[in-house]
Chains A and B, each alone.
Chain A
Amino acid sequence: MSDLVIQILAASMLLATPLLLAAIGELVVEKSGVINLGVEGMMLIGGLAGFIALYQLQTSTCTMLIGDVCFTAENSVNQFQYIGSLVVAALVGAMAAALFGFLTQYFRANHIAAGLGLTVLGAGLSNSLGGNFFGVDYTAAIVASVPPLFPENWSEVPVLGPLLFSQNLLVPFSFLMLVAVWFFLNRTRAGLVVRAVGENHHSAYALGYPVILVRMMTIMFGGAMAGLAGAFIVIAQIAPKWTEGITVGKGWLALALILFATWRPGRVLLGAYLFGIVLALEPRLKAIFSNMSLEISYFLTALPYIVPVVVLVLISRNPVMIRRNAPASLGQSFEPRS
């Protein structure tokens, strides 16, 4: 039984990490007063970019390439190639976010419309490029799994093995980023500027802070984190594989997480792991109760989307809490008074 608990915990870490990464990025974006609904789109574009990069890195070092498949004896990617693909994913995510930033910050487009547009763009672009990018069909491309960070036999250590030593590089990175973002927002001067811009952009502007520039930077940081989250889903969550619309609403879950967390980093972590456990429970419950009725089985599949709704309802019933924590300029275009 305790084996099962550890299994579920390990799986929920895998499922919570992309949510955590994307939510941390979007948290900083929203703290600066911008609401970017394009998280899902940036995850898809970033994820595909990371996958393409990893495939290219793998085939470039492959000594025995037949068709699209690498037949080298070890047939694996190393940690450096993986990190390289993550950098590409983050850069592409940031570029997609910059497009949103230009539209909303310089051309004063509606944040919500531009964000939804970015989601549509991400879905469309990743679908078409994933099917054919310079002659390679990435839905059929085969990429070896990323090796674990620690030596393989460490994963047999009880409890700590599956939870700590067999995890992917991005899992500890997500915790690190969480702490870094908390420290940045609450303990540094630059973080104070970001929050000032988010609370009242006119005051921040009057104090001499470059409102638009600060927002562009947070937007691109959010895009980079979303790109990493997408790359994690595509490359590390199961095995490296690209399919159309692979994120199935994880970007929206990340947005829901921020509301759930009322813009506090610590609660983002809590929420991400809550959603992670719900996502991890579904296949295991189905495996244990294999003779469950069809109704319950489909209810369980829909559960990861029902739980956020219920959680949001419980959180939002207290409007004071939302109002007290929400950045006051959230979603408003900055138009300097002349």
Chain B
Amino acid sequence: MIRLIPRTQFGFWATAFPLILALSITVVVGFLVMVAMSEQPLSDTWTLLTFPWQARTASVQWGFVLQKSSYLAIMAVGLSIGYRANVWNIGAEGQFAFGSILAFGAYVLFGMPDTVWFLPVMLLFGVLGGVAWALIPAALRVWANTNELLTSLMLVYVAANVLNYVTTGPWKGDPKAGQAESDPIHESLRIASIIERTDFHWGVIISAGAILVLACVVLFTTFGYSLRVAQNTPRAQKFAGFSPQMTVWMSFVLSGATAGLAGAIFLSAETGKLIQSENYLNGLGFTAIVIAFLGRLHPIGIVAAALLISYVNVGATYVQSASQVDDSVAELVQVTALFAVLGTAFLSRYRVVFGRPDLSTEGAA
């Protein structure tokens, strides 16, 4: 008989054991997926795990990984703030889109300036766009008691339509392009690469700085503490004098700001123009939700998870081009990891005991 006994002591292993187990499950299941999808699973798995050194230029591959993980990590850290307090913003994709839209809007509004000094303004407007879009579900939650999870998600589809509207309407660019898109922004406003010819650009550094600030807020401030209280004992939050309304506002402002910043950096660094939603939004905002849970809502865990998942993602793309293994292998590994982490999380709160109940020692517990 298998029984679960609540832990009374939370040592190092209570945290480490579930994570090691989850990682092992992911590796085993991931390899099985590879066996199912590939003709030479061993060599393809090896390629996937060591792809930066397989490719001609390792720095380019590392650039891809860093760039992708920076978007995921910053959005996930923002989202995790709310998730800690049971405030569910799952509309980061929409806030990302609106950040991009407002960043481009600022560019148009200020007469398309051709100077690098305008870049901070664009990023600021990106942040504002994300915040503005996130404030809608927050306001509805606080003032009308509406389920923020559903409203924030519905607004993703609305934001996608706004993006489609601006790219076919007021900011329509080249009509001969195969897709609805705006004119490109000036070259001076494109975030520069730090290492030549790689995707490792200053946006990654900006994101890392923002993550550091947010991590300090979550881990070392009274506000961060109030979130932890709300997470573990929602009722104690009120007794301790922390306002639940304030938690909702702050969660949405911070998660909207990070998503908006990511959207503005994406606009400046990747595309340089707005494109219709199908080709512009590629699910980063939804992947960020997975990353937040994979990192167990802790900033350090989230950064690690973002790097790991991006590594597998970029690796899968590389393997796809090298040996025709579909790159959805990455998505399956990602979901396996998520389910493994969620499914083993209870081990940090419970001990698994085999055998019959021993009343003499445990009966009192």
- A binding-site residues for B, Cβ under 8 Å: 37, 99, 102-103, 107-110, 112-114, 116-117, 120-121, 124-125, 127-128, 131-132, 248-249, 252, 255-256, 259, 294-295, 298-299, 301-302, 305-306, 308-309, 312-313, 316-317, 319, 322, 338
Contact = CB atoms under 8 A, between A and B. Distances in A.
A113 B342 contact: yes
Contacts of A312: 140, 146-147, 150-151
B150 A308 contact: yes
Interface string B214-225: 000000000000
A103 B339 contact: yes
Interface in B324-365: 326, 328, 331-332, 334-335, 338-339, 342-346, 365
Contacts of B339: 99, 103, 114, 117, 121
B311 interface: no
B147 A316 contact: yes
B115 to A, nearest CB: 32
B101 to A, nearest CB: 13
B69 interface: no
A336 to B, nearest CB: 9
Given A120-B290, A305-B158, A252 B332 contact: no
Contact of B328 (A112, A128, A317, A319): A128
Contact of B326 (A110, A128, A313, A338): A128
Contacts of A306: 154, 158
A93 B147 CA distance: 26
B161 interface: yes
B153 interface: yes
Given A116-B289, A248-B157, A124 B342 contact: no
Contacts of B146: 309, 312-313, 316
B96 interface: no
A301 B88 CA distance: 26
Q: How large is the interface on B (under 10, 10 to 19, 20 to 34, 35 or more residues)?
A: 35 or more
A37 B153 CA distance: 12
Contacts of B88: 112
Interface string B176-210: 00000000000000000000000000000000000
Given A103-B339, A124-B335, A338 B365 contact: yes
Interface in B129-177: 140, 144-147, 149-151, 153-155, 157-158, 161-162, 164-165, 168-169
B286 interface: yes
A298 B161 contact: yes
Contact of B145 (A109, A112, A319): A319
B158 A302 contact: yes
Given A117-B339, A132-B326, A301-B161, A309 B151 contact: yes
A322 B145 CA distance: 10
**Most chain A CB neighbours (cut-off 10 Å) among B5, B146, B169, B287:** B146
B173 to A, nearest CB: 15
A121 B342 CA distance: 14
B293 interface: yes
Given A116-B289, A127-B328, A248-B157, A109 B150 contact: no
A120 B286 contact: yes
A109 B161 contact: no
B4 to A, nearest CB: 8
Contacts of B168: 294
A18 to B, nearest CB: 17
Query: Ordered nearest first, which 3 A-B pairs have the shortest CB separation?
Result: A128-B328, A124-B331, A109-B342
Given A295-B169, A312-B147, A120 B338 contact: yes
Contacts of A113: 293, 338, 342
Nearest to B292: A113
Contacts of A108: 345-346
Contacts of A256: 150, 154
Contacts of B326: 128, 131-132
B119 interface: no
B98 to A, nearest CB: 13
Contacts of A125: 328, 331-332, 335
B90 interface: yes
Nearest to B346: A108
B165 A294 contact: yes
